[in-house]
Structure 1
Amino acid sequence: MKRASLASAGLIGSCLVTPLLHAHPVIEEVNVTGRHQNLIGESVSASEGVVSQDDIDVRALLRVGEVLELVPGMVVTQHSGTGKANQYFLRGFNLDHGTDFSTEYNGMPVNMRSHGHGQGYTDLNFIIPELVKTLHYQKGPYYADVGDFSGAGAASITPMTKRDQGRLKLTVGEYDYQRLLASDSLSNGNSDLLWAIEYTQYQGPWSDIDEDLGKLNVQLNGTHSLDHGTVSWGIMSYDNEWNSADQIPDRAVSSGFIDEYGSIDLSTGGQSHRHSINVAYDSERLHASAYAIDYGMNLWSNFTYRLDNPEHGDQFEQVDDRRIYGGELSVSAHTKFLQRDMENRWGLQIRLDDIGEVGLYNTDNRQRRGVVRSDAIDEFSSALFWENNIAWSDSFSTVLGARYDYYTFDVSDRVGVNSSEVNLSSNSGSASDDIVSLKASAIWRISTQWETYLSAGSGFHSNDARVTTITIDPSDGSAIDSVNPLVRSKGAEFGLRGFLGDKINLSAALWTLELDSELLFVGDAGNTEASAASARSGVELTAYYRIDNVWTLDVEYAYTNARFDDEQPGRYIPGAVEDVVQLGISANLNNGLFGSVRARYFGPRPLTETGDQSSQSTSIVNIRAGYQFSNVTLALDVLNALDSTDHDIDYYYASQLAGEFAPVEDRHFHPLEPRNVRVSLELAF
């Protein structure tokens, strides 16, 4: 990506803003209240919810991916550079970069199948938080229209298509943080057009590298009202490059070799782009959508330093270059069954990942020394789903669902012989698989204020296409078994929801989830790592209290017990978080002052199957305060306000530093970023 300066981005934004200063103001038609929205009579489970732009606005965000922390119980962290997909934790899953949690934006999938770095890779850096209209989350596998990566749940993010005022926002902060956002919308009768440009630069707090982040986002969203429906469309372009401060070994810090913000390999980092176009038609009974995505990534990492190659080091490059095409068609019909109101919805979903290259290379200072594996993949899926909703009485209803998913995988080796003289051509091949998933929920409305839910269902995640045809380990040429392409999950929960007088929104859920297997492709090594079947269970409690017209309080707590079924070598699931607590209080005073304080705690998590190694807990407090006068808003964000030295993430594995003569099993961690102050000036026009 060619670097644009902040001044250049500002000039572009100004050129686009100026002609719109005299445009007629647009009146927002829908006021979504998010946490304050009454979902009684509308949701399938107590683990379903909607958040809005108002809920995002009150939070100080360090990273774009933290938008998903609006999902109760979700923790979003990072073990590498700002431009990389985050690490996600939910319901006893270390979701890595997105496996077992399905995310879509504007009807387009975010999870990347058969990705160069990790299965289900979910990079949200292309999203502009200020343009999010709603985030609809659904935890558990109880929803017929959600397929792949749905074990822990799903989130659907809908962007704005118009706004009541234009926005020009400049943010500056410590560690050379600079961000410019320009956005506005035009209205012409039945049509609306929203545009936005965002540019971000950041050097980061690291002691021996400049993160040198340079991110550019451009978005266009439009809608056009017809007599019987609405056509919407979107065009997005995202480009990013950065240097990474990867996780570091504890012994390097304790010995004084580096400090906690230091790095072992100074040349890791990445670059990525995502360009897309999508279109949809929606009416009362019909939904039709289509999308096309162009995506690419080059990522340089080094987690073991000089374990495998003492001379050149263990740095590697992961490559992903693909096009994604897909769409959905669904129809619904309202009829009667035994004199009861009934709605049926049928749908078809298709997706093709045309992957020109997904590769793994040995590198030194980002220069390739040899190929470990490089493949071209065509991965196609089609799905049929059906959902039936019957209101048996004013207080009792059922939702039944079923879906059928069919996958084909076609893997072609691009290199034949890798740098270790291992012939990988036999890893080429084709595979296919299908799976049926059943869902059911019973909803009993106790009163206008209370509702209970009993839900059960099955979901699945797909495995990397390469492990469905693999026969040879790329590292040493030994024989290796392929794995099942689709892995089933089964879950159930009992839930309760209360909505009391527009003041209090409560929910509670007792849930359980089982996975047949946690077989995953290890992108860092180019082979497979098998694990046993697993079981998880837990409880989640949420409370949102609008104290008055000024003050709002929210409390979220999630407890999870996660274990492998097999006791060898142990039953603990590495990275499974047991306790998550989030607290927040916000105020919006009538005199223009506003502010919020948010605290997040996630407890110790096992780092090995035996449980003999575990991390410490992690706590962080973020503060936002500001003042709005006329059409100008001034805001102050204090991230990690208490300057916590806790860790964002911890791992336990073997590595070898320069000067060491043997591998050392050690804890490796990525620290929370230190206290970071940012100031924003926003002009509405």
Structure 2
Amino acid sequence: MTERIYLFFLTACFATGLTAQTVEGRVLSADRSPIIGAYIIHLNSEHHTHTNELGNFMLDGVAPGDSLQVTYLGYRAQKIEVPAADEFMEVELEESFFDLDAITVRPDLRSLNVATDIDSRLRPVNSAQDILRRVPGMIIGQHAGGGKAEQIFLRGFDIDHGTDVAISVEGMPVNMVSHAHGQGYADLHFLIPETIEKIDYGKGPYYADQGNFATAGYVDFSLKDKLDRSLLTAEVGSFNTLRAVGLFDLLNNERSSAYLATEYILTDGPFESSQHFNRLNLMGRYTAELPGGSKLSLLASHFESKWDASGQIPVRAVESGLIGRFGAIDDTEGGYTGRTNLAGEFLRVVNRSTFIKTNAYYSRYDFELFSNFTFFLEDPVNGDQIRQSEDREIFGFQSEVNHAFTTGGGEASLKGGIGLRYDNNDDVELSRTRNREELLERIQYGDIDESNLFAYAGADFEFGDLLINPAVRLDHFVFNYVDKLQPTYDRQEQRKTAVSPKLNFLYTLNDRTQLFLKTGVGFHANDTRVVLDQSAAEILPAAYGADLGGIFRPTGRLFLNAALWYLYLEQEFVYVGDAGIVEPSGETRRLGVDLSARYQLTDWLFADADLNYAFARSIGEPEGADYIPLAPDLTSSGGLNVLNSRWTGGVRYRYVANRPANEDNSIVAEGYFILDANVNYAIGPVSLGLVVENALDAEWNETQFATESRLFSETQPVEEIHFTPGAPFLLRGVVRYKF
């Protein structure tokens, strides 16, 4: 009897071995867009996999007739039967009730992106500024009338306008190297919020396809390939605010699509001197699906903005009654900026396991900014107004190959890429001016050429539940500067190379729990004009980072992630665009904790919260004098969101604790707590909405700096907090029409 049972068992195993196969397929939405990260589980064995960025998947160890289940957030789960051998499966998912129980943990280095996937479905973007607030832990502030790029804070960094976070749109870089105002200047205002499809982000220097500026992290925005329907939006609000948006579906069939997007904004702002702010955005996109699953996308956009600004004001001027909180010392500040982009992407599918993605771009960028930070400190007669301007062209491309395969130990994939970015930046100027019109003195004036050639390679090796991701990146820079203030032509040059290795580990216990250890080296380049200072030898200072944490799903509708992180930056030299000088800053060390939660309380009520703590200090400085100015140590954001068939809306908060404004913490930048709210009601194709910003009418400072300045009536300079007041209670009505 025992021999018969044993023989039957061997026969069954042999039969299973003969019929077991690797099934391949693709998961699509109703409009045939690939669904990235869909979860496919073999119900017989609970063996599972996920779709890649083409929507493709491979799953081994299955047999014809076996059952698979496909799930993805926001879509109805679908059960399918494995077809006969070598038959390619195509699965189309239907949109359905939004249920966080459909989330699964992906064995992928970018698995934390599920947080932004959730947020994008629940939270409307109220303005271009709100776009970066979608990134967990990121805080922003505006301090120049809405036209200047926002000041960014992340992981204990005052990133200024982009020195330590790499920002891109469809692979096209937003950060400006060797910018007239500040290194890494990232003006995202050419992006229309309603066109965003997905936000890909990562914290730390752990990603081989991210190079310059990706030390604290990176953010990449993907835009819609096609529109479900055309859209008209009109917003009217406080302080003579008007916003009009139009998204127009021009072509939409099975193989190709095209649309046009427009945005126009007007506002005077809450300031006593009107901002006279206006911004125009135009964007068009064409996408074609080619035979074999390949795809071609073309993008063209134009953006321009003009504004006046009241500028930063000193605390003493408000406390003495010289001006009000929304007054100005010099209300002739302001500026103009414009950017035209042409970009294309060709995704070639070589076979079901290999594809090559190539993108190329061209940008023409103009910038002119008038500022006055010190009032009458340098020039007691004419004042200290400065003009910063540039005329830039950017050319670039990146080509990346991805290849997936199976090994004896499991699945594996290889990724490698090469690319080039070239900036031709002419007439980069820092000048002293009066009333914007009169040129008093040129402090810096020259032409910058900067090239960045790069290559990277990495691999994902899966050994059961463990994924190991080794990678390396190579960047070579050529910096050129011609100083037009010199009597004779003198072209100065430096060449530098950075090698950035990465090694990451992900252990996925199941579809609800993942642990990770990420390690890597990154860098941010300094301004080309450091070649003027021969002591500035280290112009590609390295950043060494590590993250230890996990993703947890204790219940079906609760998503948690936590990370303990560390980041060390080498000696660096920083070009201060406002003064035209090179300032050395020493080594720094930061460590902290990131906590995030997303919870579905009921079918229609959702809660989220992000809590971030950072301990940031300079190395080599005496204790008590080693604070990093404006580095936030405690920040938090979160809220409640309602989502049903007719009503949507929510209440959101953001919190920043007090933080040091100078090296010995003798000057403190005050923290704030701001509450915003919105509600929308849909009536067929029409949606009516109401947006409330600063619902508690808090008196807060949006940006703050410890600055030494002198007022016209003063005989001695004073160093204290200079701030831009945050907007008071603001109300906007919104009407949307889909057709």
TM-score, with structure 2 as normaliser: 0.84
Distance 2:119 2:451 in 1: 38
Report the AA paired with residue 609 of structure 1. E
On the 8 A contact 1:56/1:67 being kept in 2, the answer is no
- Aligned to 2:510, what secondary structure does the other structure show? coil
Query: Aligned pair 1:498/2:552, yes or no?
Result: yes
Q: 1:372 aligns with which of 443, 465, 470?
A: 443
Q: Which runs of 5+ in 1 are unaligned?
A: 1-25, 418-422, 472-479
- Aligned to 1:462, what secondary structure does the other structure show? coil
Task: State the Cα distance separating 1:671 from its structure 2 match.
Answer: 1.2
On the 8 A contact 2:104/2:512 being kept in 1, the answer is no
Query: Aligned pair 1:433/2:496, yes or no?
Result: yes
Distance 2:33 2:502 in 1: 35
Query: Aligned pair 1:311/2:381, yes or no?
Result: yes
Distance 1:654 1:210 in 2: 26
On the 8 A contact 1:46/1:495 being kept in 2, the answer is no
Distance 1:619 1:124 in 2: 25
Task: State the Cα distance separating 1:332 from its structure 2 match.
Answer: 2.0
Q: 1:612 aligns with which of 655, 659, 666?
A: 666
Task: State the Cα distance separating 1:484 from its structure 2 match.
Answer: 2.0
Report the AA paired with residue 637 of structure 2. Q
Q: Which residue of 1 aligns with 2:458?
A: 387
Query: Aligned pair 1:537/2:599, yes or no?
Result: no
Task: State the Cα distance separating 1:116 from its structure 2 match.
Answer: 0.4
Larger displacement relative to structure 2 (660-669 or 629-638): 660-669
Q: Which residue of 2 aligns with 1:350?
A: 420
Q: Mapping of 1:41-190 within 5 angstroms?
A: 41-44=106-109, 48-49=113-114, 51-52=116-117, 55=120, 58-59=123-124, 61=126, 63-185=127-249, 186-190=251-255
Q: Mapping of 1:243-322 within 5 angstroms?
A: 243-282=308-347, 283=349, 284-322=354-392
Q: 1:593 and 1:143, CA in 2 relative to 1: closer, same or farther beyond 3 A?
A: same
Post-superposition Cα deviations, 1:429-468, rounded to whole Å, max 9, x if no partner, equal 000100100101111112221010011000000000011x
Distance 1:656 1:376 in 2: 33
Q: 1:433 and 1:669, CA in 2 relative to 1: closer, same or farther beyond 3 A?
A: same
- Over the matched positions of the two proteins, sequence identity in percent amounts to 31
Report the AA paired with residue 202 of structure 2. Q
Post-superposition Cα deviations, 1:152-186, rounded to whole Å, max 9, x if no partner, equal 00011001121111101100001000011111222
Q: Which residue of 2 aligns with 1:413?
A: 483
- Aligned to 1:64, what secondary structure does the other structure show? coil
- Aligned to 1:68, what secondary structure does the other structure show? helix
Report the AA paired with residue 438 of structure 1. P
Task: State the Cα distance separating 1:245 from its structure 2 match.
Answer: 2.2
Task: State the Cα distance separating 1:27 from its structure 2 match.
Answer: 4.4
Query: Aligned pair 1:456/2:507, yes or no?
Result: no
Task: State the Cα distance separating 1:362 from its structure 2 match.
Answer: 0.6
Query: Aligned pair 1:577/2:647, yes or no?
Result: no
Q: Which residue of 1 aligns with 2:655?
A: 601
On the 8 A contact 1:58/1:624 being kept in 2, the answer is no
Task: State the Cα distance separating 1:580 from its structure 2 match.
Answer: 0.8
Distance 2:370 2:145 in 1: 10
Distance 2:180 2:384 in 1: 17
On the 8 A contact 2:113/2:199 being kept in 1, the answer is no
On the 8 A contact 2:166/2:213 being kept in 1, the answer is yes
Distance 1:508 1:339 in 2: 29
Query: Aligned pair 1:447/2:542, yes or no?
Result: no
- Aligned to 2:116, what secondary structure does the other structure show? strand
Distance 1:556 1:51 in 2: 12
- Aligned to 1:580, what secondary structure does the other structure show? strand
The structure with the largest alpha-carbon Rg is 2
On the 8 A contact 1:136/1:157 being kept in 2, the answer is yes
- Aligned to 2:317, what secondary structure does the other structure show? helix
Distance 1:44 1:512 in 2: 18
Query: Aligned pair 1:329/2:388, yes or no?
Result: no
Q: 1:216 and 1:497, CA in 2 relative to 1: closer, same or farther beyond 3 A?
A: same
Greater RCO between the two (CA within 8 Å, min separation 6)? Answer: 1
Distance 2:318 2:463 in 1: 63
Distance 1:655 1:213 in 2: 27
Task: State the Cα distance separating 1:30 from its structure 2 match.
Answer: 5.9
Distance 1:454 1:460 in 2: 20
Post-superposition Cα deviations, 1:332-364, rounded to whole Å, max 9, x if no partner, equal 223455544321111002100011121101110
Task: State the Cα distance separating 1:667 from its structure 2 match.
Answer: 1.2
Q: Which residue of 1 aligns with 2:644?
A: 589
Q: 1:576 and 1:56, CA in 2 relative to 1: closer, same or farther beyond 3 A?
A: farther
Task: State the Cα distance separating 1:646 from its structure 2 match.
Answer: 1.4
Q: Which runs of 5+ in 2 are unaligned?
A: 1-29, 37-72, 75-98
Report the AA paired with residue 92 of structure 1. G
Q: Which residue of 2 aligns with 1:18?
A: none
Post-superposition Cα deviations, 1:7-47, rounded to whole Å, max 9, x if no partner, equal xxxxxxxxxxxxxxxxxxx9474678599573622431675
Report the AA paired with residue 157 of structure 1. F
Distance 1:305 1:357 in 2: 26
Post-superposition Cα deviations, 1:350-384, rounded to whole Å, max 9, x if no partner, equal 10001112110111000222211111011001111
Q: Which residue of 2 aligns with 1:402?
A: 472
Distance 2:604 2:268 in 1: 37
- Aligned to 2:318, what secondary structure does the other structure show? helix
On the 8 A contact 2:137/2:154 being kept in 1, the answer is yes
Report the AA paired with residue 459 of structure 1. G
RMSD: 1.9
On the 8 A contact 1:276/1:294 being kept in 2, the answer is yes
On the 8 A contact 2:115/2:598 being kept in 1, the answer is no
Larger displacement relative to structure 2 (513-522 or 250-259): 513-522
On the 8 A contact 2:536/2:573 being kept in 1, the answer is no
Report the AA paired with residue 262 of structure 1. G
On the 8 A contact 1:308/1:314 being kept in 2, the answer is yes
Distance 2:682 2:546 in 1: 46
Task: State the Cα distance separating 1:650 from its structure 2 match.
Answer: 1.4
Query: Aligned pair 1:470/2:532, yes or no?
Result: yes
Distance 1:508 1:274 in 2: 38
- Aligned to 1:446, what secondary structure does the other structure show? strand
Distance 2:391 2:443 in 1: 17
On the 8 A contact 1:295/1:322 being kept in 2, the answer is yes
Task: State the Cα distance separating 1:330 from its structure 2 match.
Answer: 1.0
On the 8 A contact 1:46/1:507 being kept in 2, the answer is no
- Aligned to 1:383, what secondary structure does the other structure show? strand
Report the AA paired with residue 360 of structure 1. L
Task: State the Cα distance separating 1:54 from its structure 2 match.
Answer: 6.3
Distance 2:301 2:395 in 1: 15
Distance 1:518 1:482 in 2: 8
- Aligned to 1:51, what secondary structure does the other structure show? helix
- Aligned to 2:446, what secondary structure does the other structure show? strand
Query: Aligned pair 1:359/2:429, yes or no?
Result: yes
Q: Which residue of 2 aligns with 1:38?
A: 103
On the 8 A contact 1:57/1:130 being kept in 2, the answer is no
Larger displacement relative to structure 2 (306-315 or 221-230): 221-230
On the 8 A contact 1:59/1:596 being kept in 2, the answer is no
Distance 2:271 2:302 in 1: 29
On the 8 A contact 1:52/1:132 being kept in 2, the answer is no
Distance 1:415 1:621 in 2: 50
Q: 1:237 and 1:60, CA in 2 relative to 1: closer, same or farther beyond 3 A?
A: closer
Task: State the Cα distance separating 1:124 from its structure 2 match.
Answer: 1.0
On the 8 A contact 1:134/1:158 being kept in 2, the answer is yes
On the 8 A contact 2:107/2:506 being kept in 1, the answer is no
On the 8 A contact 1:46/1:508 being kept in 2, the answer is no
